[in-house]
Amino acid sequence: MTSATTFRSRAASQRELRDIKSELNDLREAHGREDRRAWVKPALVSSAITLVVAMIAAWGTWSATRFSADEDREKESREKRSQIYAEYLAAARSYLKARGAMTNVDKVAAVRMRALEAAIAARAPAARIAIIRRDADRITAMQDQLSSEEATAETSFLKQADLIYVYGSDDAWRANLAVSRAAGGIDDAGTETPFNFDAANAALREFQGVFCKEASATPRKGCGQ
């Protein structure tokens, strides 16, 4: 074999060797990329799952916190209304009682005054007139006392009605208006309306029904009946 032939043979062998090394490198790189892709996919899935779990946990915590806050506000509102409604009922009863007493005394006073006027007109004996006058004076004194008590009761009632307007429900406010109408007195138009005993009791029962329904988290079935 000549030296030229030997040189060509070696060159060809070197080229084949380089080609083989190049193919091996390509295979290693391809395998490496596949390994990296195989590792990246589970990693991405795992990260996504972790993120979703964290989001669910955060939402659950927020939801529980919000529910607890809403529950606390509802409890606080019930307790506030319970106190206001109880104080309103006490004030309403006192006011209606004073209005009823005043109404009855006014009727008696009117009768006594007519009797006195009739005795004087008929020239009744002085002793008889004196007795009727003393009776009328006693009723007048009673009127003055009851008028003062009524004014105090009315002031307390109106203060509690203001709280119903602010903190009470629409049903509570409507029941309060029914109580006010039943109490009678001078309305905004300047017209005097009489005290209505039956309407007063009905209005109080209406407010009691509202109280029963709204002040308790678990009101009884008979509330408002």
pLDDT tens column, 152-211:
999 999 999 999 999 999 999 999 999 999 998 766 677 778 899 999 999 999 999 999
C-alpha 135/C-alpha 131 separation (Å) is: 6
C-alpha 91/C-alpha 205 separation (Å) is: 14
Q: Which residues of 191-219 are buried (b: 16+ CB within 10 A; e: fewer)?
A: eeeebbeebbeebbebbebbbbebbeeee
Q: How far is CA 201 from the centre of its chain?
A: 26
- Domain ranges in the chain? 1-69, 81-215
**HSE-up (13 A, CA, CB side) for residue 189:** 4
Query: Between 119 and 179, whose confidence is greater?
Result: 179
| Statement: residue 94 has pLDDT above 80 | yes
C-alpha 61/C-alpha 171 separation (Å) is: 36
pLDDT tens column, 28-64:
665 555 555 554 455 555 666 776 666 776 666 655 5
**CB distance 81 to 214 below 8 Å:** yes
Rg (CA), the chain: 47
Comparing C-alpha atoms, which of 152, 142, 131 is closest to residue 108? 142
The SS3 assignment for 191 reads coil
